[in-house]
Amino acid sequence: MNDNKVPGQNRLAARVSGLVIGALTVFAPWYISGPQATLNRGIFWTYIITGVLMMTVATIALIWRRAFWPAWAFFLLTVWIILAPDTLSSAAKDVSIMHVLLGVAGIVVSIFWIRRMFGRIPRDRPVVKGRTFADCSSSERTLYGLVMIVLGLGYCMALGYLYLTHAGLSGKPGLSVQDIAITYYGNRSGTRLEMMLRGQMRDKISPDEMDQVVAWLKSGSTEDVYDDTIYPIIMKDCAKCHSKNSGKNLPDYTTYEGIIPVATVDHGLSIEALVKLSHIHLFGIGLVTFVLGFVFTFTALPEWFKNVVIVAPFFAMVTDVATWYLTKWDPVFAYTVVVSGLILGSAWGVQIFVSLYQMIFLPGKLGADKKTVPD
């Protein structure tokens, strides 16, 4: 074997394959729709922009042989092809099938590309082996294990809260993509008050009273009906929290002026609310992802696999938050929100369960703890 061989030469096939997939992506609209390719501008520009970016990344990798980042950039672009709303909504089956084929082919190429980078360290580069759980003392394992368990339970509680606050917004039992879309896009055929009564507040009011409130909303939300019919219901079921005397930072529904903002057409969460949620999620989930990823680095697994599992939740987190704003613009992006959440949860699950398994069953080095215990 020639030890002076340039490491990048081993990845030439992956880079050329990436260039070919990018070119196929650019020409896909014409293959699907022929001369009418430009009629659906959303699908057309998704293909063109993504394909050009893939070709650009592959070309840079062919020129800059030792660069590591093009492999990850190509991987993220192929994931976007699969997560694009045109794929997930299945509105056009031919488009969805083409997205899946290109995305799967791109992911296979990018995984091979990444594996060649992180799985085979060049001979002229010093090998630095990281610690594993076998090198950790029992106290370190205990600390890491408890952190993983507590954060795992916290994530389960977050899923429960997500279900309780979003399920039923569409008027149907259970949690669906439509419920997620209503949260951000709103129910343009209804009002915010109706959405809350059918969702998280449905156990606060009787079915008959709900019907009366909904009938008032459908009839135009007039003030005289509010005074005669709705006000007594508000005082009975809602005033405990939604009044000035409650001491809570909630809208006052005991006056017509206070309730009318939520009795109009629902446009979903405001931009101000989305910005507030975004910075909370990015800070909070970012720190949790860092902690889980840090502990996961101690697992005895191939480096390329650990890198994929570590990067996945960061990518999913940013994609999830970004598609909140896109969903407010077009509800079809709710599919991307759901899939991003699934990727985040799956990556966290792998990090937690694999780490706990190896902490418990991976044998430690003989005498590792004894060296740290005083006589």
- pLDDT given at position 4: 46
Query: What are the structural domain ranges in the chain?
Result: 7-118, 133-165+269-367, 193-262
Q: CA 364, CA 374: separation in Å to the nearest integer?
A: 19
Q: CA 363, CA 375: separation in Å to the nearest integer?
A: 24
Q: Is the pTM of the predicted complex or chain greater than 0.85?
A: no
Mean pLDDT per 10-residue run, the chain (375 residues)? 45 78 80 67 74 85 76 80 59 67 80 64 54 86 93 92 79 77 74 72 79 78 82 82 76 80 72 85 91 92 88 89 84 83 92 92 56 43
- pLDDT given at position 107: 79
Query: Which tokens in the block code for residue 172?
Result: 């149907």
Could you tell me if 351 and 306 are in contact, meaning their C-beta atoms sit under 8 angstroms apart?
A: no
- pLDDT given at position 36: 67
Q: For 231-261, b where at least 16 C-beta lie within 10 A, e where not — what string? A: bebbeebbbeebbeeeeeeebbbbebeebee
For residue 373, CA distances in Å to 139, 141, 366, 370 come to 12, 16, 14, 5
Q: CA 29, CA 48: separation in Å to the nearest integer?
A: 8
For residue 110, CA distances in Å to 98, 249, 317, 352 come to 18, 49, 20, 25
Query: Which tokens in the block code for residue 39?
Result: 């009629």
- pLDDT given at position 221: 76
Phi, psi of 345 (to 5 degrees): -65, -40
- pLDDT given at position 35: 66
DSSP one-letter string for 23-83? HHHHHHHHHHHGGGTTTSHHHHHHHHHHHHHHHHHHHHHHHSTT-SHHHHHHHHHHHHHHH
Nearest one of 7, 302, 279, 298 to 145, comparing CA atoms: 298
- pLDDT given at position 137: 86
> Which residues are 265's β-sheet partners?
191
- Looking from the CA of 162 toward its CB, the CA atoms found within 13 Å total 14
**DSSP H or E segment with residue 252:** none
> Which residues are 191's β-sheet partners?
265
Phi, psi of 190 (to 5 degrees): -140, -160
